[in-house]
């Protein structure tokens, strides 16, 4: 009986190894890197001076920025990218500080998607943008025009793009915030 169990185990192991080898021969990576991108729009900005092109966050926005850091606390964030604006930098700041990272600035109009993906392979990345640039960036990452510009009051959408080998998935979650007004 014991020898039959050993033989069964050896056959099962051999067939599993054989399947694994067949997958590699077909060009399938059996252990691909998993890369996850978290895209958010900046939190609520201070609207007291409508002529200010680069306002800071409002009190509610500061609360939301801290809320994002709490939501993302369960994720091992490896890198943070933000546009070069006060409101995006301030939105990213609680996560950056909590993770002891340095925010990297990006220009949404000149981002090289294949290079961006390659630089962040195997990482968990937070990207903070704007109502128009965030959905556009997500669309470029997934290779289709799926998401439209966000409403100006939408500061709670979280887009998650995950790359596993050559397969890309995406989703949009919405988080309400009981942030101070």
- 58 shares a domain with 18: no
Answer whether residue 157 is part of any domain: yes
pLDDT of 177 reads: 76
Count CB atoms within 10 A of the CB of residue 34.
13
Residue 176 banded pLDDT, cuts 50, 70, 90: confident
Answer whether residue 180 is part of any domain: no
- 61 shares a domain with 21: no
Instruction: State how many domains the chain has.
Output: 2
- 90 shares a domain with 52: yes
Answer whether residue 60 is part of any domain: yes
- 85 shares a domain with 6: no
- 7 shares a domain with 51: no
Identify whether the C-beta of residue 90 lies closer than 8 Å to the C-beta of residue 56. yes
Going by C-alpha positions, the residue among 138, 141, 79, 135 that lies closest to residue 113 is: 141
pLDDT at 112 over 50: yes
The mean pLDDT value for 36-62 works out to: 97
pLDDT of 27 reads: 56
Identify whether the C-beta of residue 144 lies closer than 8 Å to the C-beta of residue 61. no
Identify whether the C-beta of residue 36 lies closer than 8 Å to the C-beta of residue 160. yes
Answer whether residue 179 is part of any domain: no
- 38 shares a domain with 27: no
Q: Identify the CATH number of the domain in which residue 101 sits.
A: 3.40.50.1240
CA 144 to chain centre: 17
- 40 shares a domain with 25: no
134-151 pLDDT per residue, tens: 999 999 999 999 999 999
């Amino acid at each position: 009986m014991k020898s039959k169990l050993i033989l069964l185990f050896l056959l099962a192991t051999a067939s599993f190894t054989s399947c694994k080898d067949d997958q590699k021969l077909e060009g399938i990576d059996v252990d691909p890197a998993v890369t996850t991108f978290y895209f958010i729009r900046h939190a609520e900005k201070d609207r007291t001076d409508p002529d200010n092109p680069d306002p800071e966050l409002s009190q509610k926005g500061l609360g939301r920025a801290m809320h994002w850091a709490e939501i993302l606390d369960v994720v091992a964030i490896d890198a943070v990218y933000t546009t070069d604006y006060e409101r995006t930098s301030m939105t990213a700041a609680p996560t950056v500080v909590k993770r002891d990272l340095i925010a990297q600035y990006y220009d949404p109009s000149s981002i090289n998607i294949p290079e961006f993906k390659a630089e962040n392979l195997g990482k968990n990345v937070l990207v903070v943008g704007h109502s128009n640039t965030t959905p556009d960036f997500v669309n470029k990452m997934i290779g289709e025009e799926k998401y439209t510009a966000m409403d100006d009051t939408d500061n709670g959408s979280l887009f998650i793009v995950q790359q596993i080998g050559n397969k890309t998935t995406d989703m949009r979650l919405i988080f309400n915030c009981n942030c101070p007004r």
